[in-house]
Amino acid sequence: MKRLYQCIKNKKVNQSQAREAIYRVFLENEEKCMSVADIRRELSKVYTKKVSLNTIYRHLDLFVSCNLAVVIQDDFKKAYYCLTGDEPLAFTICRKCNRVKKIAFHPEKCDETLEDTDFITIHKKCEKCS
């Protein structure tokens, strides 16, 4: 939550319970990439008030602008959001089912052109579709 509070301070936005609840959903699903529908479904389990889609998108935009989260789009332009950390991220997107999965990324094993990369996406068939 410390990163969220720093973002709120830096962007000079008001603290809100909905924003904190959405961020908690990310923290509880740290290893997952979630669509807005996934976020909304998980949010309804932990937050009793109704949150509009507009509010969710607005908060997600804030998270991305503060590097708290990244947004990945599949081939059909469906957006998935994933929490960032200290390490660069890598994702696979299945060419057949469009499943997005977070994977380990080791920049030290890569070409120097990837040194300053925030994240990469790899398009390949997932284990279910292989």
CA–CA separation, 38 and 78 (whole Å): 12
pTM surpassing 0.95?
no
Structural domain span for residue 94: 86-123
pLDDT per position as a tens digit, 75-129: 888 999 999 887 778 888 998 998 888 887 776 767 676 667 778 888 899 889 9
Considering the domain architecture, whether residues 21 and 43 belong to the same structural domain is answered as: yes
Residue 78 sits in the same domain as residue 91: no
CA distance 22 to 13: 16
Per-residue pLDDT tens digits for 38-77:
999 999 999 999 999 999 999 999 999 999 999 998 888 8
Helix (H) or strand (E) holding 24, with range, is helix 17-28
Q: Residue 58 falls within a domain, yes or no?
A: yes
